[in-house]
Amino acid sequence: AAAYKHVPLVEANVCSAVANNLRCTAAALAAARSSGVENFTLISTDKAVRPTNVMGASKRACELLVQDAAAAIAAAGEGPICSMVRFGNVLGSSGSVVPLFRRQIAAGGPVTVTHPQITRFFMTIPEAVQLVLQASALARGGEVFVLDMGEPVRIAELARQMIQLSGFSVRDASHPQGEIALEFTGLRPGEKLFEELLISANDSPTDHELIRQAREETMPTAQLHELISELLQLIHVRDEAGVRDLLARIVPEYKVDSRLVSMGNRVTLRSDNSSVA
């Protein structure tokens, strides 16, 4: 089951995106339990940590659903081993910045970056696949695994390197004669300058040097199910503000982007993949 994970698109379609992410996770969990699946692994995201966007908050809510299922399975003594794996951006995957930069360079520019200081974690597709499988093999039930993604990459520097490796010079305020323009479009709604992988400072090593286990808080089953039920009712009546507010009750670390409040929760998309009110 695929989650909706494009930050501005989710901000523009709050109810549909939250319904998809939560319902699909719950449905996949139910199917895994009823069909005798041995292992269930939720692919989470670094954006679930202290989220500033609906996508990240919804994925943290999905983590809570999986944590709750793992506890119920442990109490029942039967069912799949449920775990979660958090990591950042995967180079070359759908929506990755690298293919976008390649297309922009091939078109003669400009290459667009949201902010000069923005950083992200990256890993390759083979690295991500191997570590997810290995984390699943380490699981005993309820773990939140975090993949070691190395040092964060400054996106503006990545853009500069890609322009230069393509045989062009960079055109910016310091180099007005360059061949390919590098432009900064501003942070998109819900977007952070940097991402994190841990909500708390507590994590521990595993038997794999590139996989660590986070220690995250859970929510009592009755409270979680009551809030999720209320959330789905708000989705049914398309109450976006109510959905955001309730997400913040389910995920206390979620901070609604003040720009979204001032825009009345309206977000549209430009063809260059940046977002404007």
**Smallest Cα–Cα separation from 136: which of 224, 66, 65, 77?**
66
255 catalytic per annotation = no
The answer to whether residues 121 and 153 touch, using CB atoms and an 8 Å cutoff, is yes
Q: CA dist 178 to 48, 61, 164, 174, Å?
A: 39, 46, 10, 9
**Which residue in 47, 59, 192, 255 is the catalytic one?**
47
Which burial class, exposed, middle or buried, applies to 255 when counting CB atoms under 10 A from its CB (0-12, 13-18, 19+)?
A: middle
The dihedral over CA atoms of 25, 29, 31, 37, expressed in degrees to the nearest 10, equals 130
Sign of the Cα torsion 255, 256, 258, 259 reads: positive
The answer to whether residues 125 and 90 touch, using CB atoms and an 8 Å cutoff, is yes
Residues designated catalytic: 47
